[in-house]
């Protein structure tokens, strides 16, 4: 009887563990934002699932049992398209039911996907070194063959061009002009193993860089460059564990980064879009730092007494109330703690405002 009880306890613990494990990140590869439901969807490569991250940071399983090793994802209207080795699957965003299922001939390891205005899906196969294409109206198109030494990884479409990253040493960005299919390659001898790539709609590219094959010790980086100056690729953020298919959320104005080897997802607030320095304010000016995570208040002149700084929203609610010591040259406000909206800064009856979009 006692052994039977132990068996039930063991079974309960096992089932409980499986339930907890099924709602945890397990090599998260790709992330997209479902605006209609205000949630992120994340492909869990190792568990074969797609997870949902709610706006209250609760993780649940959205798709289970339909995929083996899901990687790249994209939302088209009310369908979530997921690449899974040699398969392209589509799921209804309302209930997760399968609405599209296509086995891609000759494909073996498709890793990322993007789409253009003509509903052409472009998919990179890192193993076959091909670019597979599928038009959602007319069906499959002729694949494009990369050079044998090229391992295509991340892909993004922007303004009639495809931007493709390569996974290797050194890493590359390959740009295709879709009008002519002319190919331009950019080599980066100071960076290795590129993964995801994304645009922010304002002329910038962001690239996930592993730096080493495993990237298990926070050596991963997010790089940044202008679309018009790709050679000038610089480090934007550091400290990632295998950053994979990064995603720019234009609604929340943040960069979402799945850590493939770190089993986590991080979100980077991009910027405040508007700073308004009141011309009548002769006391201080406001700026944003390069990482777009803080508002910096710089004082034009010194002062002898303590001053009170107030930050309040459009409803007059005080968000921050602090004291500035004499002769302090600047004061910083952390934007991660603030919701989207218009805010006002008051110091010594001088007022300026700034706008946060997330």
* Phi, then psi, of 167 in degrees rounded to 5: -105, 100
pLDDT tens by residue, 107-143? 999 999 999 989 999 999 999 999 999 999 999 999 9
pLDDT tens by residue, 51-75? 999 999 999 999 999 999 999 999 9
Look up the CATH number of domain 274-356. Answer: 2.60.40.3080
Q: Decide if pLDDT at 81 tops 80.
A: yes
- The CATH superfamily assigned to 28-269 is TolB, C-terminal domain (2.120.10.30)
Host H or E run for residue 142: strand 139-145
**CA 123 – CA 156 distance, rounded (Å):** 10
Token pair belonging to 5: 């009880």
> Residue 265: CB partners within 8 Å, gap ≥ 6?
25, 28, 31, 40, 42, 53, 256, 257, 258, 259
Give the residues across from 288 on adjacent strands: 295
In which band, very low, low, confident or very high, does the pLDDT at 355 lie, cut at 50, 70 and 90?
low
Question: Which residue, among 239, 237, 236, 216, has the nearest Cα to 226 in the 3D structure?
Answer: 236
Q: Where in the chain is the domain with CATH 2.120.10.30?
A: 28-269
pLDDT tens by residue, 223-243? 999 999 999 999 999 999 999
Q: Look up residue 20 and give its DSSP letter.
A: H
Q: Where in the chain is the domain with CATH 2.60.40.3080?
A: 274-356
């Amino acid at each position: 009887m006692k052994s039977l009880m132990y068996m039930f306890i063991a079974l309960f613990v096992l089932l409980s563990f499986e339930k907890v494990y099924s709602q945890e990140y397990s090599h998260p590869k790709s992330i997209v934002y479902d605006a209609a439901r205000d949630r992120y969807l994340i492909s869990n490569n190792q568990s074969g699932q797609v997870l949902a991250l709610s706006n209250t940071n609760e993780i649940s399983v959205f798709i289970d049992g339909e995929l083996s090793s899901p990687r790249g994802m994209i939302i088209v209207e009310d369908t979530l398209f997921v690449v899974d080795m040699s398969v392209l699957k589509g799921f209804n965003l309302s209930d997760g039911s399968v609405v599209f299922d296509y086995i891609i001939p000759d494909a073996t390891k498709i890793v990322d996907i993007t789409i253009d205005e003509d509903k052409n899906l472009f998919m990179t196969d890192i193993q076959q070194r091909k670019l597979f294409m599928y038009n959602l109206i007319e069906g499959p198109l002729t694949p494009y063959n990369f050079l044998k030494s090229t391992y295509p990884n991340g892909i993004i479409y922007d303004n009639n061009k495809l931007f493709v990253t390569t996974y290797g040493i050194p890493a590359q960005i390959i740009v295709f002009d879709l009008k002519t299919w002319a190919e331009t390659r950019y080599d980066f001898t100071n960076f290795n193993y590129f993964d995801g790539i994304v645009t922010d709609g304002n002329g910038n590219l962001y690239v996930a860089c592993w730096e080493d094959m495993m990237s298990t010790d926070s050596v991963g980086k997010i790089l940044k460059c202008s679309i018009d100056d790709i050679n000038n690729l610089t480090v934007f953020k550091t400290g990632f564990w295998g950053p994979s298919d990064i995603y720019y959320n234009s609604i929340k104005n943040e960069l979402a980064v799945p850590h493939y080897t770190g089993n986590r997802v991080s979100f980077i607030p991009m910027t405040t879009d508007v700073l308004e320095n009141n011309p009548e304010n002769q006391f201080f000016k406001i700026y944003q730092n390069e990482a777009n995570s803080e508002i910096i208040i710089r004082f034009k002149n010194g002062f002898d007494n303590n001053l009170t700084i107030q930050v309040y929203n459009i409803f007059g609610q005080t968000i921050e109330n602090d004291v500035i010591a004499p002769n302090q040259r600047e004061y910083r406000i952390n934007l991660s703690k603030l919701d989207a909206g218009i805010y006002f800064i008051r110091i010594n009856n001088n007022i300026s405002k700034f706008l946060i979009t997330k």
